[in-house]
Structure 1
Amino acid sequence: MSETPAAPRLAETFAEVEDALLSRWPETRLEPSLDRIRAFTELLGDPQRTYAVIHLTGTNGKTSTSRMVDGLLRTLELRTGRFTSPHVERMNERICVDGEPLSDEEFVRAFNDVAPYTHLVDASEAHPLSFFETVVGMAYAAFADAPVDVAVVEVGMGGTWDATNVADGVVAVVLPIAVDHAKYLGDTPVVIAEEKAGIIKPGATVVVADQEPDVAAVLLARATEVGATVAREGLDFGVVTRVPAVGGQLVSLQGLRARYDDVFLPLYGAHQAQNAALALAAVEAFVGEEPLGDEVVRAAFAAATSPGRLEVVRRSPTIVLDAAHNPHGAEATAAALEDSFTFSPLIGVIGVMADKDHEGVLAAFEPHLAHLVCTQASSTDRALPAEQLAAQAVEIYGPDRVTVAPRLADAIDQAAALAEAGEALGGGLGSGAVLVTGSVVTVGEARTMLGGRS
C-alpha cells in the first residue's frame, strides 16, 4: 500500500508562503493541461463558480485594463476581486479584494486555506501543481471567502490552457494580440489568437479590441462557435478623441450604451485610452442595458492607476518606469513618450529577460533614446546578462550610445547623470529624463529602489 502523503506544514509568515510557492514549478515552465487546476478547484469546492467573472486576455494592456474594470465596478458599489500577474514588487499584489492587495496576514491565510489540498493534487496528478496554478487556487478561494460580487481575472499566458480558464467569464475581453511567449503560444498572431480565444465561453459577451483582420477572424469564429455576443472596438465602442493633458489625458469614449466626453484619465498614451474604452465596454456589457452614468465613469477613470506603466516616480531628473517587455508594448510606450512628454535627452535603462525578443524591444526604443544603459535584474536567473544585451544594442545604437552597468542601481545613477548633463547630449539643461524599462521584473526592482507610489 502506498502511504498517504503527509499534509504540508502551514505557513506562519509571508516569507514562508513565498518560499513554498517559489519551490513549485515556475511560471515559465508549462504543461498544457487544465487537469491539475481542475482537480485543485474541485477539492476547494469550485469557488470560481460562486461569483461572476470578467476574464481578460491579449498580449499587452491586461493589467491596466483589469485595474480600470475593477475601478468602474467598485464605483458602481460592487464588491470586487482582482487577479493579475505578474506582480511588480510583491507577490500579494496579484490577489486584490475591493481594489486592495491582500495584506501579508491575509495572504498567509489564503495560502493556508488551500495548502492541505495541494499535496492531494500533487500525489494524484502526473505533474505537481505549479506556482501559478497554486496562486490561482488561492485567489479563487479568497474571492469566495470575501465574498465578492464579481472577479476581474487576467490570464497568465494564452487562454485555453491557462490555469485561470477553469472560470467561465460572463464577459471576455480580448486586448490587442501580437507575438509574445512565442515558445509556448506560437510565433504568429493568428496561432496565438487561437489559444487566447479559448476564454470565450458559451453565452458570454466578448469585447474585442481592434485587431489585425486575420486575428479578428479567429476570434469571431470562436464567438460564433460557442454562441457568444461580440462587441468590436471601432464598430460598437471606442475612443472618439484624446488630447494629452497635464498628468494624463482627456478622452471622449463611445461606450456600448452611451458616450462620455472629456473624461480625465491620469495615464499616458493612446494605448491607455484604448484600454479605458475596452474597460468601459466590458463593464457596460456586464451590467446590462442601462448606461453607467456620467459621474460613475468620471470618478472611476479619474482614480485610475497602473504602477510601472509610464509611471513618473521621481523628478530632477524625471525618472519614468514602464514595464514594456515585447516589441508591441515598446512601440506603444515610445509613442506615448513622444505624445505626452518633451524630454531631451531621454536616457534609457533597459534590462530584459533572456526568453524575450530583446532585439525588437531595443529597436522600438532606438529613435527615442539619446543613450542606453544596459543592465539586468538581480532577482531572477531569467535576466539576460547586461553584457549580452549591450552587444546586441551596439549593433542597433552604435558604440557611442551604449554603456553597461550590470547593477540596476548603478545603471540608474549613470542614466540620471547623463540626463542631468543634458546639453552634452543635445538637450536643454533640466529637460532630461530617464526611462527604466525592458521587463516587469526590472521595473519592479527599480520601483522598490526609488519608492514608487502605491
Structure 2
Amino acid sequence: MTAIEWIHSFDRFDGRGGIKPGLERMQAMLERLGRPHEQLKFLHVAGTNGKGSTCSYLANILQHVGYQVGLYTSPYLTQFHDRMSVGGVNITDQELDQIVAELRPVVEEVAATEVGCPTEFEVLSVLSILHYARQEVDFVVWETGLGGRLDSTNVVTPLLSLITNVGLDHQAILGDTLEQIAAEKAGIIKPGVPVLTTAHGVALEVIKRTAAQNGSRCLTFGDDFASERSRFGWEGQTFDWRGFEGELSQLQIKMLGEHQTVNASLAVAACQALQELGYPIDEASVRAGLASTAWAGRFEVVAQDPLTVLDGAHNPEGAQALGAALRELLPQRKVVLIVGVMADKAIPEVLAPLVPLSAAVVVTRANMPRSAQVDQVAKMVKSLDSELPVLTAQSVAEAFRLAAQQAEELGCPLVCTGSLYMISEARALFFPN
C-alpha cells in the first residue's frame, strides 16, 4: 500500500457520514508526536468562499519577502500533493513515504483508544504539520477544511485568524442560519489573537462578539481596511487599498472578479498586521506577491477557442460572485454553461444567478458518490427557465464535447462551474498530467 493509498483508506467526509467533529484525535496524535505544531507560526484562514485565494495571495507575498512558507489547502485540483507545499513546491512522494512511516504507528495507537480512528483529513492535517516542522518554515498559511470550531486545523494557536465571507453552506453540519455558521467559523478565534475578516451583516456581528469575548482585536473590511477598483478586464485588475496603518495605490492582480480584490485586500491587511507583530514585509513584496498570484479553478481561463472559463462556484455566494464577474467581463453576452454540483448543496440557489446568463446548459456530475444526479439538476434548471436548452452528460468529458458543439453553434463562450471535484476533472482535460 502506497502512502497515498494509506491516507485514502480512512473515513472521508462525504456530506453524510465519515466526519467526526471534535479535536480529540488530533490532540492525541500530536501529543504522541511531541506537539510539533507548537514549533510553527500559523496564519489560520476560515470562511465560506475565498479561503483558497486569500491563502494563495498571503503565501505568495510572504514568499516574495523571503520567508519560507508552508501552504495547506483543500481540496486539491490537479494532484494530491498540491494541498501541502513549501515555498510553492509540493510535497514529494519520498517525503510522504518518510512521514507516513513515522505517523502510521501513532495513528494505529490512537485508533485503538477511546477517541477512535482518525479521519482522512485529520491524518492529512497531522502529516502536513510534520512536513512543515521538518522543513522549518517561517509561517504556515493554514486553511480550514470545514467550519472552524471543530475543524481538524483548530488545534493551533495562530499569529492571526482570518475569516473571509460567511454564507449558507454545509448546513447539515454547521447549522441552518448564518448566525450558527458564523459561530462555527468564529471558533478559530483564540484569546488575544487578532482576527481580520471580510464578513458582513449578522455574520460580522457574531465574529465581533466572539472576538470581544476572547479579548481579540477585530479588524473588519469596510471599517479598518478596504479596496476600491480603478480598472478591470480580462488581463487583470487594479485597486487601491487603505488600511489601519496607511494606503497602497494601484495594486495589481491577475485573478478576475471584484470578489478577488476583496480577498487580496484581506491578505494585504494580514501582512500589515504581521508587520505590527514585528515581521517585516516590504511594499515591493506585497505588490509582486499579489501581481503573480494565480489559483486554479477560480475564474480560470483555460482556452480561447472557444473562450473557456473554469470556476468552482459550489454554493450560492460563489455563484453570485461568478455571475457578477460574467456580467462585467461579458456584457450583453450569454454563455454555454456546464454545471455539476454535490447533492448536499443548495442547488436551486447555485443555479439561480447563472441560468439567466446562459444560452444553453449542460448538466454533468463529478465521478464521486456525493454528486447530484444529472436528471434532477436538469429539472431544476428547467424550472428556472423552461425555454432554455438543457443537455445532460454522465461524465465531465462528455459534457465538454456537448458544450463545445453548443458553443460553436451559438457563438458563445463556455463556462464550467460547480463542485471543485468536478472542476478538478475538467482541468485534467486541459492540463493532463
The bucket for the TM-score relative to the shorter chain is: over 0.9
Contact 1:237 / 1:281 at 8 angstroms: preserved in 2?
A: yes
**TM-score if structure 1 supplies the norm length?**
0.91
Instruction: Give SS of 2:399's match.
Output: helix
Mapped partners of 1:106, 1:200: distance in 2: 32
Give the aligned CA root-mean-square deviation in angstroms: 1.7
In structure 1, the residue matched to 2:361 is 372
The partner residue of 1:324 within 298, 305, 313 is 313
The partner residue of 1:148 within 113, 137, 146 is 137
The partner residue of 1:245 within 214, 233, 257 is 233
The partner residue of 1:107 within 85, 96, 106 is 96
Q: Which amino acid aligns with 1:58?
A: G
Instruction: Give SS of 1:49's match.
Output: helix
Residue 64 (structure 1) aligned with residue 53 (structure 2): yes
In structure 2, the residue matched to 1:204 is 193
In structure 1, the residue matched to 2:427 is 447
In structure 1, the residue matched to 2:124 is 135
Instruction: Give SS of 2:353's match.
Output: helix
Deviation of residue 388 (structure 1)?
Answer: 1.7
Contact 1:36 / 1:125 at 8 angstroms: preserved in 2?
A: no
Contact 2:375 / 2:392 at 8 angstroms: preserved in 1?
A: yes
- Decide which moves more: 54-63 or 353-362: 353-362
Deviation of residue 103 (structure 1)?
Answer: 2.3
Contact 2:339 / 2:363 at 8 angstroms: preserved in 1?
A: yes
In structure 2, the residue matched to 1:280 is 268
Point out where structure 2 has 5 or more consecutive residues left out of the alignment.
none
Contact 1:351 / 1:437 at 8 angstroms: preserved in 2?
A: yes
Q: Which amino acid aligns with 2:266?
A: L
- Decide which moves more: 310-319 or 86-95: 86-95
In structure 1, the residue matched to 2:21 is 32
Deviation of residue 27 (structure 1)?
Answer: 2.2
Mapped partners of 1:272, 1:143: distance in 2: 28
Instruction: Give SS of 1:36's match.
Output: helix
Instruction: Give SS of 1:112's match.
Output: helix
Deviation of residue 191 (structure 1)?
Answer: 0.5
Mapped partners of 1:365, 1:449: distance in 2: 23
Contact 2:359 / 2:388 at 8 angstroms: preserved in 1?
A: no
Instruction: Give SS of 1:153's match.
Output: strand
Q: Which amino acid aligns with 1:116?
A: P
Contact 2:229 / 2:261 at 8 angstroms: preserved in 1?
A: no
Contact 2:302 / 2:310 at 8 angstroms: preserved in 1?
A: yes
Equivalence map 1:115-134=2 (5 Å): 115-134=104-123
Point out where structure 1 has 5 or more consecutive residues left out of the alignment.
1-10, 423-428
Q: After superposition, what is the alpha-carbon deviation per residue over 1:273-328, rounded to whole angstroms, capped at 9, x for unaligned?
A: 00000001112112327884331121111111110000011110011100110011
Residue 395 (structure 1) aligned with residue 400 (structure 2): no
- Decide which moves more: 341-350 or 307-316: 341-350
Deviation of residue 181 (structure 1)?
Answer: 0.3
Contact 2:37 / 2:129 at 8 angstroms: preserved in 1?
A: yes
* Percent identity over paired residues: 32
Mapped partners of 2:312, 2:396: distance in 1: 15
Equivalence map 1:274-423=2 (5 Å): 274-288=262-276, 292-342=281-331, 344-378=333-367, 380-398=368-386, 400-422=388-410
Distance 1:226 1:400, change over 3 A: closer
Q: Which amino acid aligns with 2:220?
A: R
Residue 22 (structure 1) aligned with residue 11 (structure 2): no
Instruction: Give SS of 1:124's match.
Output: coil
Q: After superposition, what is the alpha-carbon deviation per residue over 1:349-382, rounded to whole angstroms, capped at 9, x for unaligned?
A: 001111111111111211211111001112x111
Deviation of residue 109 (structure 1)?
Answer: 2.7
Q: Which amino acid aligns with 2:73?
A: T
Deviation of residue 34 (structure 1)?
Answer: 0.7
Q: After superposition, what is the alpha-carbon deviation per residue over 1:231-255, rounded to whole angstroms, capped at 9, x for unaligned?
A: 1111111103342134211111113
Contact 1:170 / 1:203 at 8 angstroms: preserved in 2?
A: no
Mapped partners of 2:98, 2:13: distance in 1: 22
- Decide which moves more: 54-63 or 114-123: 114-123
Contact 2:24 / 2:115 at 8 angstroms: preserved in 1?
A: no
Distance 1:367 1:220, change over 3 A: same
Deviation of residue 408 (structure 1)?
Answer: 1.1
Mapped partners of 1:246, 1:387: distance in 2: 34
- Decide which moves more: 293-302 or 144-153: 293-302
In structure 1, the residue matched to 2:162 is 173
Mapped partners of 1:258, 1:44: distance in 2: 43
Q: How many residues align?
A: 429
Deviation of residue 399 (structure 1)?
Answer: 5.2
Mapped partners of 2:232, 2:361: distance in 1: 26
Instruction: Give SS of 2:191's match.
Output: coil
Deviation of residue 89 (structure 1)?
Answer: 2.5
In structure 2, the residue matched to 1:433 is 413
Residue 227 (structure 1) aligned with residue 208 (structure 2): no
Distance 1:125 1:339, change over 3 A: farther
Contact 1:257 / 1:289 at 8 angstroms: preserved in 2?
A: no
- Decide which moves more: 21-30 or 176-185: 21-30
Deviation of residue 415 (structure 1)?
Answer: 0.9
Instruction: Give SS of 1:176's match.
Output: coil
Mapped partners of 1:343, 1:415: distance in 2: 20
Mapped partners of 1:315, 1:184: distance in 2: 40
- Decide which moves more: 316-325 or 401-410: 401-410
Mapped partners of 1:365, 1:208: distance in 2: 27
Instruction: Give SS of 1:364's match.
Output: coil
Q: Which amino acid aligns with 1:106?
A: E
Deviation of residue 342 (structure 1)?
Answer: 4.7
Distance 1:397 1:292, change over 3 A: same
Contact 1:312 / 1:319 at 8 angstroms: preserved in 2?
A: yes
Deviation of residue 156 (structure 1)?
Answer: 0.5
Contact 1:416 / 1:433 at 8 angstroms: preserved in 2?
A: no
Instruction: Give SS of 2:349's match.
Output: helix
Equivalence map 1:262-273=2 (5 Å): 262-273=250-261
